[in-house]
């Protein structure tokens, strides 16, 4: 869970890391010159040649760069205006929305415009560029108008469209769940690599309850995975889709979040491989004696400290659930509780993988070392050189 990252993601470029606003290059209602003062208005005939027209000089702030941009701005953001006077095509809307979002300081303004417009028109993003001249109907303009206004108030685009992309999967999403970040894909990647990797060959007492390929020690057969704090189920669904032998139990304290996870599990037909349980971390696992130990436990928990929470950007703090973000004064509350109990739920040679905050590596490593249950502990940085993944392999016994 990377809460200091952008909520609108260009997954093709994977450019998100440190959150940052795009500096506006221009404002669609700003202008550099007054067209009336520049004598660009057509001459008018006058019935009384002695009369002169009085021209009111307005501040430059209120003059658009061109009259056409003024009408674009006015007709779209004022839905009561006669929309028949302005024909909105896909190209015109994309260009205007991009400029509008840039002026509002919205991250990835072009991508945001594409996502909202493709959502309203029920098109793929690529279709927008093959149907540039298609006029947009008034009822669709009215719907788009509302979404543009909400986006301008920093409401995340993912919540406006009700979906997001994660690990090449399109997932359902709503404000009951935190928005998955691109950095979390690294946790999924390492989890899949671990499940596909050979078991530890030199362990004196390897777990022989599952079938193993004697030639290379590779893991075969069912691998049991636990996903704590599953949220919308992004980690569990991504692992299950990419490792067919995984059987996953996913837990979350929020019943509302689990409802969203259930939709994503249903969407990808994974109900027979992912089980959802409502409860606090390991608490709902206690009575499930059929799977009392796991080959892998993954978690992207809340890890924002009190001081960091107050500094979160508006589109995170005002819209994403605090329950999925905040983790006590130092941001380590959930980690302490997981590390304190995880040993009882891991098989020998199994692994615990945690997503961590950008500077939490040293303290998480210390907590894992103090637990005394792990033979190998590794802190990995993400593609922005921030601490991101903590991996701890349990000792063989």
* Whole-angstrom distance, CA of residue 269 vs CA of residue 237: 10
* Whole-angstrom distance, CA of residue 163 vs CA of residue 81: 32
How many helices, marked H, and strands, marked E, lie in the chain?
A: 13, 9
In a shared domain, residues 129 and 277: no
Is the predicted pLDDT of residue 223 greater than 60, yes or no?
yes
Residue 154 is part of a domain; what is its CATH number?
Answer: 1.10.8.10
In a shared domain, residues 242 and 304: yes
In a shared domain, residues 367 and 255: yes
Domain boundary among 132, 161, 190: 161
Is the predicted pLDDT of residue 282 greater than 70, yes or no?
yes
Q: How high is the mean pLDDT of the chain? A: 80
Domain-located, residue 12: no
Share of the chain above pLDDT 70, in %: 72
In a shared domain, residues 254 and 297: yes
> What is the per-residue pLDDT for 20?
34
> What is the per-residue pLDDT for 208?
34
In a shared domain, residues 154 and 168: no
Mean pLDDT within 167-191: 97
Query: Which secondary-structure segment (H or E) carries 28?
Result: none
Q: Could you tell me what percentage of the chain is helix, strand and coil, using 3-state DSSP and rounding each to the nearest 5?
A: 35, 15, 45
More confident residue, 68 or 191: 191
In a shared domain, residues 315 and 177: yes
How many domains would you assign to the chain?
A: 2
Share of the chain above pLDDT 90, in %: 69
Residue-wise pLDDT for 14-30, tens only, equals 433 333 333 333 333 23
In a shared domain, residues 255 and 322: yes
Q: How far is CA 49 from the centre of its chain?
A: 65
Residue-wise pLDDT for 112-125, tens only, equals 999 999 999 999 99
Q: Report yes or no: 361 and 379 within 8 Å, Cβ to Cβ.
A: yes
> What is the per-residue pLDDT for 59?
43
Strand 387-394 to 294-299 pairing: unpaired
Q: Report yes or no: 19 and 6 within 8 Å, Cβ to Cβ.
A: yes
Domain-located, residue 362: yes
Q: Report yes or no: 253 and 282 within 8 Å, Cβ to Cβ.
A: no
Domain-located, residue 28: no
Residue 349 is part of a domain; what is its CATH number?
Answer: 3.40.50.150
Is the predicted pLDDT of residue 131 greater than 70, yes or no?
yes
**Tokens read off for 47:** 């019935």
In a shared domain, residues 149 and 245: no
In a shared domain, residues 371 and 237: yes
81, 84, 85, 88: CA torsion to nearest 10: 100
Q: Report yes or no: 197 and 349 within 8 Å, Cβ to Cβ.
A: no
φ, ψ (nearest 5 deg) of residue 25: -85, -30
In a shared domain, residues 294 and 350: yes
Burial of 78 (0-12, 13-18, 19+ CB in 10 A): exposed
Is the predicted pLDDT of residue 218 greater than 70, yes or no?
no
- pTM of model > 0.85: no
Q: How many alpha carbons fall within 13 Å on the CB side of residue 333?
A: 15
Domain-located, residue 330: yes
In a shared domain, residues 227 and 372: yes
Residue 30 CB partners (closer than 8 Å, separation 6+): 60, 61, 63, 64, 65
For residue 219, what pLDDT band results from cuts at 50, 70 and 90?
low
Domain-located, residue 217: yes
Q: Residue 324 belongs to what domain range?
A: 164-202+212-394
Q: Which of 150, 188, 154 is nearest to 171 (CA)?
A: 188
In a shared domain, residues 81 and 190: no
Q: Report yes or no: 332 and 363 within 8 Å, Cβ to Cβ.
A: yes
Residue-wise pLDDT for 300-346, tens only, equals 999 999 999 999 999 999 999 999 999 999 999 999 999 999 999 99
Strand 387-394 to 346-355 pairing: antiparallel
């Amino acid at each position: 869970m990377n809460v200091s990252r952008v909520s609108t993601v260009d997954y093709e470029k994977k450019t998100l890391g440190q959150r940052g606003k795009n500096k506006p290059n221009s404002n669609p209602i700003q202008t550099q010159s007054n067209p009336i003062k520049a004598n660009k208005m057509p001459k008018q005939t006058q019935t009384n040649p002695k009369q002169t027209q009085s021209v009111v000089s307005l501040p430059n702030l209120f003059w658009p760069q061109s009259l056409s941009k003024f009408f674009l701005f006015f007709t779209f953001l004022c839905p009561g205006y006669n929309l028949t006077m302005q024909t909105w095509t896909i190209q015109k809307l994309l260009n205007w929305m991009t400029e509008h979002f840039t002026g509002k300081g919205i991250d990835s303004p072009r991508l945001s415009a594409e996502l909202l417009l493709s959502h309203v028109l029920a098109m793929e993003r690529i279709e927008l560029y093959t149907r540039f001249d298609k006029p947009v109907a008034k009822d669709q303009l009215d719907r788009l108008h509302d979404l543009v206004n909400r986006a301008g108030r920093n409401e995340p685009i993912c919540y406006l469209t009700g979906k997001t992309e994660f690990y090449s999967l399109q997932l359902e999403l709503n404000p009951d769940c935190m928005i998955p970040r691109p950095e979390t894909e690294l946790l999924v990647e390492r989890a899949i690599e671990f499940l596909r990797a050979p078991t530890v060959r030199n362990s004196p007492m390897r777990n022989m309850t599952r079938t193993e390929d004697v030639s290379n020690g590779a893991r075969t057969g069912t691998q049991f995975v636990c996903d704590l704090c599953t949220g919308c189920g992004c980690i569990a669904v991504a692992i299950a889709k990419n490792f067919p032998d995984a059987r996953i139990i996913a837990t979350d304290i929020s019943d509302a979040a689990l409802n969203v996870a259930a939709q994503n599990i249903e969407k990808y037909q994974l109900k027979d491989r992912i089980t959802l349980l409502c409860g606090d971390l390991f608490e709902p696992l206690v009575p499930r004696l059929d799977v009392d130990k796991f080959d892998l436990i993954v978690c992207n928990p809340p890890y924002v400290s009190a001081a960091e929470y107050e500094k979160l950007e508006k589109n995170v703090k005002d819209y994403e659930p605090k329950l999925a973000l905040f983790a006590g004064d130092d941001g380590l509350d959930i980690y302490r509780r997981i590390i304190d109990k995880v040993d009882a739920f891991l098989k020998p040679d199994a692994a615990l993988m945690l997503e961590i905050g950008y500077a939490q590596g040293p303290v998480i490593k210390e907590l894992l070392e103090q637990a005394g249950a792990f033979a190998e502990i590794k802190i990995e940085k993400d593609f922005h050189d921030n601490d991101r993944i903590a991996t701890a392999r349990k000792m063989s016994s």
